[in-house]
Amino acid sequence: MVGSIAYDSVESPEGKVEDALGGSAIYGGIASQFHARHLDLGAVGIVGVVGTDFLQSDRDRLSDLGLDIRGIETAQGNTFRWSGSYHGDMGVAQTHDTQLNVFGEFEPKVPDFARTPKILFCANLLPILQSKVLDQVKPRRLSMLDSMNLWISTAKDDLMEVMKKVDLIIINDGEVKMLAEDENFIRASRKVVEMTDCSTLIVKRGEFGVIAFHGEEIISLPAFPTEMVVDPTGCGDSFAGTLASYLANGDGEISRSELREALIASTVTSSFTLESFGVNRLIGLDNNEFIQRLNQYNSILN
């Protein structure tokens, strides 16, 4: 799992937090490791960069969860910092400050021992960096990629090129419309599949759930109805991290039923993420809690 490692300062109607552990690789990695542990998959490896200000206690927290952090590089300077707030329906964050710091000079270096994983997940990064990761890694089953509207606006050609190199793409509904230059969501999704030739396109739709385009199949799932919304930061990353672990639990071509099961688990996991500031809810998640909510969600679907 390759992505950002950050300290986030977030404010919402439920309060605020300063310099909380965050970043796409952190949310994705913690969620992925939670499921890897219960699926008997071994350690999830994180590749990223931190500054000399990164707390040893945070490094220890990640190790204690079972994550393999040997791919985390320490560079001279400060760790990436992001500050934002959520208002109204809390669907989109308002960014107040972004300090890339050492992340601005990040050149991903995947350790030799991690270059043939079952699953590679390139979390949200500059597309040219995602391409460099793909040049280093040969996943045994699947490569996954996440992105954002910024890269569609500023590096669309690079993004399209790297999207053509992966098997599975995860983006949100606004981004799929931007990429396809089409306001019809379904038509735009079909266009992105054609443009990238990916085997699976997963489109996150916030409170409206998720839709996956998998060959000729379409899987549509609602969001889990959550009353406690504290901080939506990292929901998409925890969704993707869960998906990675569930897909790492199989072999060969991905079936519709396997993908649907993975999407259900991912949806349930992301519903926990937003119940606290930062990664606290994910770190404190108990498997019995997860199973109980998973059963609730399945009863809604059925």
Task: Return the pLDDT at 47.
Answer: 97
Task: Return the pLDDT at 91.
Answer: 78
Mean pLDDT of 138-158: 93
Task: Return the pLDDT at 228.
Answer: 87
Mean pLDDT of 277-302: 95
Provide the pLDDT confidence category of residue 167 given band limits of 50, 70 and 90. very high
- CATH number of the structural domain spanning residue 145: 3.40.1190.20
CB 245, CB 35: distance < 8 Å = yes
The total of structural domains in the chain comes to: 1
Is 54 a residue whose pLDDT tops 90? Answer: yes
Task: Return the pLDDT at 21.
Answer: 97
Mean pLDDT of 24-46: 95
Q: What is the pTM of this model?
A: 0.95
Task: Return the pLDDT at 181.
Answer: 95
Is 88 a residue whose pLDDT tops 90? Answer: no
Task: Return the pLDDT at 74.
Answer: 97
d(CA 176, CA 202): 10
Share of the chain above pLDDT 90, in %: 93
Query: What is the DSSP track for 160-216?
Result: HHHHTT-SEEEEEHHHHHHHHT-S-HHHHHHHHHHHH--SEEEEE-GGG-EEEEETT
Return the axis-axis angle of helices 185-196 and 173-180, rounded to nearest 10°: 60
Task: Return the pLDDT at 246.
Answer: 97
Query: Is 278 a member of any domain?
Result: yes
d(CA 163, CA 170): 10
Domain housing 242: 6-87+94-301
Query: Is 1 a member of any domain?
Result: no
Q: What is the DSSP letter of 31?
A: H
- Triad 88, 183, 212: Cα angle to 5°: 80
Mean pLDDT of 190-205: 96
Share of the chain above pLDDT 70, in %: 100
Q: What is the DSSP letter of 66?
A: T
Mean pLDDT of 20-30: 96
Mean pLDDT of 40-56: 96
Mean pLDDT of 163-169: 97
